[in-house]
Amino acid sequence: MRRDPALLALEDGRVFRGTAAGARGTAFGEVVFNTAMAGYQETLTDPSYRGQIVVMTASHVGNYGLAKDDAESDRIQVSGFCARAFSDRFSNPRGEEALLPALGRAGVVAIDGVDTRALVRHLRSLGAMRGAVSTEHASEAEAAALVAAIREQPRMEGAALGLSAGTAEAYRFGEPGGPRVAVLDYGVKRNILRKLAARGLSGTVFPAAATAGEVAAAGPWDGFFLSNGPGDPAALPACVGTIRDLLATGRPLFGICLGHQLLGLALGARTFKLKFGHRGVNHPVRDVATGAVSITSQNHGFAVDLATLPDGLALTHVNLNDGTCEGFRLEGRPVFAVQYHPESAPGPHDSDALFAEFASSLGR
């Protein structure tokens, strides 16, 4: 099947040409790469990828189709999608539809036929940057105009995407009867809620902008959970203030990804933007206390600055690739967080015990 030409352009003027897939049009976002060999549906539907054009390093994407049970949210979240080759058909008894029609229906502009090795090497050398994928800028003059438009787009620094990536209305999860948890939703993945419920926990998922007073009014709560999400944690000062109020209750608290960063800010640390981020399912992380190394799934472009951890905040996990902070805990309190994704599916299950630890702190 012949497809129309398309291109992916970067703010530094580099242009990669390929063929159109998914919807037609132009989409802007931060261009990042994911090194996972599988899990493209989880990537597409992860709210933490909102505002980003994701480049997959796997050579073939779409081979096993899509299945509704594998979605991490109710829709495709990425701004754009890129691969060396998208499969026109799939082979998988669990598969329910092919990738390309789903991208088109979701309005996601995508491109394949790109030299993704060259593109990823470029991003690794210069860092994640603003870009666009387009089916509407074929000529050299049009491509140059697109680069100029890219340079007018907002950067990820300062983007408060976590306020809009999650639910707009509070809703319940899990089967009542066990410890009750209030989840602050900055873009929570479905499998996080499944993991909490599997440990006998239930409760309510609140919008990111919910105040501590609004959360307390729906209580009482045995503990709190801070979810993953997209954007810059430093752009969410109201959320940081809410977390400080929740900490003052003395209840257990567990955070993942953006929740890890926001908790760090609430406790006095600072965050910074990584050069090209951590996105994949094979990142080694060392447990500081035991020395054990876990293979983890990751998706983040910001991190807690290890050098700014205040007294009383103990480093628990370190990324073995670049030495960045992957986890900490508040000494003497059942308050802890990790930067990586222990709930990830597909991906390693090395870190499932973190959910058991949180449940245990709630008396489960």
Cβ pair 39, 19 in contact under 8 A = no
Q: b vs e for 57-88, b when ≥16 Cβ sit within 10 Å of the residue's Cβ?
A: bbeebbbbbbeeebbbbeebbbbbbbbbbbbe
Looking at residue 50, what DSSP letter applies? B
Catalytic pick from 82, 239, 257, 325?
A: 257
Q: Left (φ > 0), alpha (ψ -120 to 50) or beta: where does 219 sit?
A: beta
163-166, Cβ contacts within 8 angstroms, sequence gap of 24 or more: 163/208, 163/209, 163/236, 163/239, 164/208, 165/47, 165/48, 165/50, 165/77, 165/208, 165/229, 165/230, 165/231, 166/47, 166/205, 166/207, 166/208, 166/227, 166/229
Residues in the chain: 364
Angle at 233 between CA 358 and CA 170, to 5 degrees: 60
For residue 260, indicate whether it is catalytic: no
Verify whether residue 325 is a known catalytic residue: no
In a 13 Å sphere around the CA of 104, the CA atoms on its Cβ side amount to 11
Query: Is position 239 annotated as part of the catalytic site?
Result: no
* 3-class SS of residue 287: strand
CA–CA separation, 116 and 166 (whole Å): 31
Grouping H, G, I as helix, E, B as strand and the rest as coil, residue 84 is coil
Q: Indicate which residues carry an active-site annotation.
A: 257, 341, 343
